[in-house]
Amino acid sequence: MENIEIKIKTTPKDFFVFIGSMVALYASAVSLLNLLFEIINASFPDALNFSYDRFSSGMRWSIASLLIVFPLYVFLSWFINKDLNANPLKKNLGIRKWLTYLTLFIAGVAIITDLIMLINTFLGGEITARFGLKIFAVLAVVGAIFSYYIYDLRRDVGQKSSKIKLLVWTVSFGVMASIVGGFFIMGSPATLRMKRFDERRVGDLQNIQYQIVNFYQRKGALPKIVDDMKDSIAGFFIPVDPETGSPYVYEKISDPSDFSNFKKAFPSSVLSTDDIPTFKLCADFSLDSDALANLKGEMSRPVPASSEMGFPLNENWQHKKGYVCFDRKIDKELYPILKNGKM
């Protein structure tokens, strides 16, 4: 009996289903690796990177991408296998072979590059737990992709393997565990929103503090109330709490100019006062700041308005949850009173 070779052409449906499957696969792999890297960075912080933000958009974007593209990849893979079981000849479709071999090539190059980096770093004596875990993450993700598609090329249509089923379940569990780990580190969307509100509050207080110091340098005295600093020409208006709309609290504690005026009126007075301009700024925060989590006790403590170099100190704005006040003392050598607009 003469063998008849039947050729099946690639239909538009086949083309877009296979292309969509591979795009979803690559997007899932990249998002998973980015998420794993963010988790590793948070778990093993770099001593040189003190400004790591666990609320960064990188982790949010990776979680959002995985929640969409990974289920899409699983669905498209299931649809393709179902279609292959119904039409075994589609195993030899050109689009399927091209995309499968392309994926194997990319995965193979990634594995080789990953191993070269690992050996090179090891020989240089610079390997760390943070770097080693990232290398392992790349090997695990890319190795799983490589193993699955090697098996997919060799298997007969309809053939089932307990090892591949275990691999699929392991990968699915790993993706879900990574997403849960990301939420555990980053916090819920509600927590993130409260964090953003607190960041806005700190920014508003910094702005008000700058205006108070500027007012003191120009006027030679602290403002009596916060509304004294309103300047429609310069465009400065007093900010309010972004969540509640309540005004921030400003309180003048001591001002040498008040004592000077008192001495002029009553020269024989022996009243003494602090010669350092001091004021207080208060706000109601939603969360503890990370840096303050391990501190005990004081909610308000005197700190300089700036460092020795004139830059604001980040730890000046550490706070606990609830109503917190920040006492500020203006260094008159760093911020001298201006005369005719000059030092």
Residues 6+ apart with CB under 8 A from 281: 205, 208, 209, 248, 249, 250, 325, 326, 328
Name the phi and psi angles at 252, rounded to 5: -80, 120
pLDDT at 277 over 60: yes
> How many percent of the chain have pLDDT more than 90?
18
pLDDT-derived band at 19 (thresholds 50, 70, 90) equals very high
Residue 25: which of 84, 76, 98, 79 has the closest Cα?
76
Q: Is there a single domain that holds both residue 223 and residue 180?
A: no
Is the model's pLDDT at 255 over the cut of 70?
A: yes
CB neighbours of 241 closer than 8 A, spacing ≥ 6?
201, 204, 247, 248, 283, 284
Average pLDDT, the chain: 78
Determine the Cα–Cα distance for residues 54 and 172; give it in Å rounded to an integer: 24
Helix or strand or coil: residue 304?
A: strand
Q: Give residue for tokens 């465009």.
A: 235
134, 163, 187 - which closes a domain: 187
Supply the pLDDT for residue 269. 47
297 pLDDT tier (thresholds 50, 70, 90): very low
Contact between 31 and 65 under an 8 Å Cβ cutoff? The reply is yes
Residue 96 included in any domain = yes
Q: How far apart are CA 84 and CA 89, in angstroms?
A: 7
Position 7 confidence tier, pLDDT thresholds 50, 70, 90: low
- Residue whose pair of structure tokens reads 């008192």 in the numeric block: 262
pLDDT at site 85: 81
Indicate whether 337 belongs to any domain: no
Question: pLDDT of 160-203, one tens digit each?
Answer: 767 778 888 888 899 999 998 888 887 777 888 888 899 899 99
> Does a structural domain hold residue 99?
yes
Comparison of pLDDT for 157 and 69, the residue scoring more: 69
Which of 153, 187, 221 corresponds to the end of one domain? 187
Listed residues 127, 155, 187: the one ending a domain = 187
Verify that 36 and 99 share a domain, yes or no: yes
Which of 44-70 are b and which e, b meaning 16 or more Cβ less than 10 Å from the residue's Cβ?
eeeeeeeeeebeeeebbebbebbeebb
Asked, for residue 244, whether it belongs to a domain, the answer is yes
Angle between helix 12-43 and 94-123 (nearest 10): 20
Tell whether 197 and 69 lie within a shared domain.
no
Q: For 8-72, what is the HEC assignment?
A: CCCCHHHHHHHHHHHHHHHHHHHHHHHHHHHHHHHHCCCCCCCCCCCCCHHHHHHHHHHHHHHHH
**Same-domain pairing of 321 and 205:** yes
Q: What is the DSSP string of 147-186?
A: HHHHHHHHSPTT---HHHHHHHHHHHHHHHHHHHHHHHHH
Interval 125-150: pLDDT, tens: 666 788 888 888 988 999 889 988 88
Q: Are 285 and 322 in contact (CB under 8 A)?
A: yes
| Higher pLDDT pick, 289 / 296 | 289
Backbone torsions φ then ψ of 247, nearest 5 degrees: -70, 150
Residue 4 lies in a domain: no
Let me know whether 34 and 106 are in one domain. Answer: yes
pLDDT of residue 80: 87
Q: Say what the pLDDT of residue 68 is.
A: 94
Would you say residue 327 has pLDDT above 80? yes
Place of tokens 């003392």: 329
- The answer to whether position 302 is within a domain reads yes
Asked if residue 16 is part of any domain, the answer here is: yes
In a domain, 6, yes or no: no
Mean pLDDT score, 8-15 = 81
For residues 250 and 247, what is the distance between their CA atoms, to the nearest angstrom?
9
| pLDDT at res. 182 | 86
Same domain? 300 vs 230: yes
* pLDDT recorded at residue 24: 92
Does 236 lie in the same domain as 289?
yes
Do residue 26 and residue 113 come from a single domain?
Answer: yes
pLDDT the model gives residue 336: 85
Say if residue 77's pLDDT is above 80.
yes
Q: pLDDT by residue (tens digit) across 195-233?
A: 889 989 999 999 999 888 888 888 888 888 888 888 777
The per-residue pLDDT for 261 is: 52
Does 218 lie in the same domain as 159?
Answer: no
pLDDT of residue 69: 93
Q: Amino acid letter at 256? A: P
For residue 219, the enclosing domain spans 190-329
Do 154 and 221 belong to one domain?
no
The answer to whether residues 176 and 205 belong to one domain is: no
What is the count of structural domains for the chain? 2
Q: Which of 113-122, 289-298, 334-343 has the lowest mean pLDDT?
A: 289-298
212 lies in the same domain as 275: yes
Phi and psi of 81, rounded to 5°?
A: -65, -35
Dmax over Cα atoms in the chain, in whole Å? 128
Cα–Cα distance, 343 to 340 (Å, whole number)? 8
